[in-house]
């Protein structure tokens, strides 16, 4: 059964266009209150990032929850992982995040956490969608949900982040540049790193409701790279608009993505004796990480693209580390979701414990060259094109030619009418040529019978 509103990370879209409208979000709040709110008298937390439309959707959700008889605790601007943490520790029935993560300000979205701080399973999202289709009603006025602002949400989350590394560690003399993407970490991340003793320069920490992710943050790390080099900093930390992604810049000015960070943390956990089981990546995880881990006797398991699928596998197996190249890093031994600040702190702790720089921690993992091409679809089904005999034959030829020195991935875009063709291997010229071969076959198949 497919989901009509929910994608891989909640409900997201352009503000003012269905379903990211005040009337839909009002109904969504009511439906979530009915399904997640623990019945009348239940408690749900609402937090948001810094985009201007958050005010509008915050009010709509609050009204819907109140109509369902559910109490609301308003957190204000708060990173997504902070909302997950507070939902769990305040024993709330659910947490709601108003954010479109790394998207520009004109987008927004709604995502949910269950009472244990994890993202909702598919079946619960189906329940909410089914409730949305029912007529909206309201409890009687004496049973309406009440609303209260949680004034110390920021401080609680800061203390949680710092507690994810040993208290004895002091980072005096470490010079950091922290890029908050003008997002939900702007009033949190700089304080976290200053309170553990580092010298912090903050950029992307002046949100105006419209500049979230605009040329800064994890999706635009060049601004951070420039600042690290200009200041001669030891490290740069880039978060995205809702704080669940992390990209870093080492002391040499090299941008380190989620694969680099995941390798460094895996080696850290193994050194400290905390590593358990295998590492969970995605279909997009670089082959170089898989090879480097294999050489260390550690397996890499690939989940579907999306941090929720990484987390599902970690939960099922009882493993501790997973992540995506985009910077979603899940330290499941520390928290229940991807957390950019917590992941950055784990890297700092390993640097402190070993006396090695980030560049040195990543030195033994060499990424394979990768080419990604997007082939537009014009009304065709991505699944049918990917099953086309000529496309499958071309993929088979490329895979046979590259053997175990390369990898091919075809997948439909989750947000656009595209097929993404990805090839990676040891030789950059061959990788680019092989990707073009497959893309040409996909383009030729479009409009042809399978």
Per-residue pLDDT at 416 exceeds 80: no
Per-residue pLDDT at 60 exceeds 80: yes
Taking the C-alpha atoms of residue 191 and residue 158, their distance in angstroms, rounded to an integer, is 8
Examine the domain organization and report whether 439 and 329 are in the same domain: no
Examine the domain organization and report whether 15 and 143 are in the same domain: yes
Which of 346, 367, 388 delimits the end of a domain?
367
Examine the domain organization and report whether 269 and 196 are in the same domain: no
Total domains, the chain? 4
Per-residue pLDDT at 424 exceeds 50: yes
Examine the domain organization and report whether 353 and 270 are in the same domain: yes
Q: Are 75 and 83 in contact (CB under 8 A)?
A: yes
Per-residue pLDDT at 448 exceeds 90: no
Q: Could you read off the pLDDT of 211-264 as tens digits, one per residue?
A: 999 999 999 999 999 999 999 999 999 999 999 999 999 999 999 999 999 999
Per-residue pLDDT at 180 exceeds 90: yes
End-to-end CA, the chain: 26
The reply to whether 5 falls in a domain is no
7-16, 179-188, 191-200, 320-329: least confidently modelled range: 7-16
The CATH number of residue 399's host domain is 3.30.310.50
Angle at 301 between CA 299 and CA 305, to 5 degrees: 150
The closest of 325, 329, 363 to 345, measured between CA atoms, is 329
Per-residue pLDDT at 450 exceeds 60: no
Sheet holding 329-331, edge to edge: 300-303, 279-282, 321-323, 329-331
Task: Characterize 205-223 residue by residue with b for buried, 16 or more Cβ atoms within 10 angstroms of its Cβ, and e for exposed.
Answer: bebeeebbbbebbbbbbeb
Examine the domain organization and report whether 26 and 143 are in the same domain: yes
- Name the pTM for this structure: 0.93
Taking the C-alpha atoms of residue 13 and residue 100, their distance in angstroms, rounded to an integer, is 8
The reply to whether 163 falls in a domain is no
Examine the domain organization and report whether 55 and 144 are in the same domain: yes
Taking the C-alpha atoms of residue 255 and residue 308, their distance in angstroms, rounded to an integer, is 25
Examine the domain organization and report whether 75 and 130 are in the same domain: yes
User: Does the CA dihedral 270-273-279-280 come out positive or negative?
Assistant: negative
Examine the domain organization and report whether 228 and 270 are in the same domain: no
Average pLDDT score, the chain: 95
pLDDT > 70: what percent of the chain?
98
Examine the domain organization and report whether 310 and 387 are in the same domain: no
Which of 317, 335, 367 delimits the end of a domain?
367
Enumerate residues 6+ apart whose C-beta is below 8 A from 261.
246, 248, 323, 327, 329, 343, 347
The reply to whether 164 falls in a domain is no
Examine the domain organization and report whether 219 and 291 are in the same domain: no
Which of 194, 221, 255 delimits the end of a domain?
255
The reply to whether 284 falls in a domain is yes
Residue 404 structural domain: 370-445
Examine the domain organization and report whether 139 and 194 are in the same domain: no
5-14, 56-65, 98-107: least confidently modelled range: 5-14
Token pair recorded at residue 428? 């950059």
Backbone angles phi, psi at 110, to 5 degrees: -130, 130
Q: Report, as residue numbers or ranges, the catalytic residues.
A: 101
Q: Write down the pLDDT at residue 413.
A: 81
Instruction: Look at strands 94-98 and 321-323 and give their pairing.
Output: unpaired
3-state DSSP of 110-144? EEEEECCCCECCHHHHHHHHHHHCCCCCCCCHHHC
The CATH number of residue 338's host domain is 3.40.120.10
The reply to whether 158 falls in a domain is no
106-120, 278-292, 403-417: least confidently modelled range: 403-417
Q: How confident is the model at residue 405 (pLDDT cuts 50, 70, 90)?
A: confident
Token pair recorded at residue 413? 């875009």
**Max CA separation in the chain (angstroms):** 72
Examine the domain organization and report whether 306 and 202 are in the same domain: no
Per-residue pLDDT at 50 exceeds 80: yes
The reply to whether 270 falls in a domain is yes
Arithmetic mean of pLDDT, 263-279: 97
The reply to whether 294 falls in a domain is yes
Q: Write down the pLDDT at residue 112.
A: 97
Query: Look-up: residue for tokens 């993929």?
Result: 395
Q: Could you read off the pLDDT of 348-363 as tens digits, one per residue?
A: 999 999 999 999 999 9
The reply to whether 309 falls in a domain is yes
Per-residue pLDDT at 366 exceeds 80: yes
């Amino acid at each position: 059964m497919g989901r009509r509103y929910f994608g891989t990370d909640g409900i997201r879209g352009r503000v003012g266009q269905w379903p990211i409208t005040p009337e839909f979000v009002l109904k969504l709040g009511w439906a979530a209150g009915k399904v997640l709110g623990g019945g009348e008298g239940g408690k749900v937390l609402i937090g948001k990032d810094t985009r201007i439309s958050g005010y509008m959707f915050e009010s709509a959700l609050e009204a819907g929850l109140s109509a369902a008889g559910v109490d609301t605790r308003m957190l204000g601007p708060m990173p997504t992982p902070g909302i997950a943490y507070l939902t769990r520790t305040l024993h709330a029935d659910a947490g709601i995040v108003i954010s479109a993560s790394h998207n520009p300000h004109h987008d927004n979205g709604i995502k949910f956490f269950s009472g244990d701080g994890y993202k909702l399973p598919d079946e619960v999202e189906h329940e909410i969608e089914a409730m949305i289709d029912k007529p909206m009603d309201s409890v009687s006025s004496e049973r309406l949900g009440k609303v209260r602002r949680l004034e110390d949400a920021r401080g609680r989350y800061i203390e949680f982040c710092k507690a994810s590394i040993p208290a004895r560690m002091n980072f005096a003399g470490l010079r950091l540049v922290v890029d908050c993407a003008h997002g939900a970490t702007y009033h949190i991340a700089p304080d976290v790193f200053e309170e553990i003793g580092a010298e912090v320069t903050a950029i992307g920490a002046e949100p105006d409701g419209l500049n979230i992710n605009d040329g800064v943050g994890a999706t635009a790390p060049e601004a951070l790279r420039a600042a690290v080099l200009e200041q001669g900093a030891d490290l740069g930390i880039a978060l995205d608009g809702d704080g669940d992604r992390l990209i870093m810049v080492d002391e040499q000015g090299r941008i380190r993505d989620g694969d680099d960070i995941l390798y460094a943390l895996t080696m850290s956990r193994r050194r400290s004796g905390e590593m358990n089981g295998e590492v969970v990546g995605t279909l997009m995880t670089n082959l170089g990480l898989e090879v480097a881990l294999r050489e260390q006797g550690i397996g890499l398991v690939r989940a579907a693209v999306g941090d929720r699928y990484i987390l599902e596998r970690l939960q099922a197996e009882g493993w501790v580390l997973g992540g995506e190249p985009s910077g979603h890093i899940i330290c499941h031994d520390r928290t229940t979701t991807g957390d950019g600040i917590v992941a950055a702190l784990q890297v700092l702790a390993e640097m402190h414990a070993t006396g090695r720089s980030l560049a040195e921690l990543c030195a033994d993992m060499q990424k394979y060259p990768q080419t990604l091409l997007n082939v537009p679809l014009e009304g065709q089904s991505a699944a049918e094109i990917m099953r086309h005999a000529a496309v499958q034959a071309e993929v088979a030829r490329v895979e046979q030619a590259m053997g175990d020195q390369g990898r091919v991935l075809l997948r439909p875009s989750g947000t656009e009418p595209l097929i993404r063709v990805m090839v990676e291997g040891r030789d950059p010229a061959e990788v680019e040529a092989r990707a073009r071969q497959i893309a040409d076959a996909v383009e030729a198949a479009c409009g042809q019978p399978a």
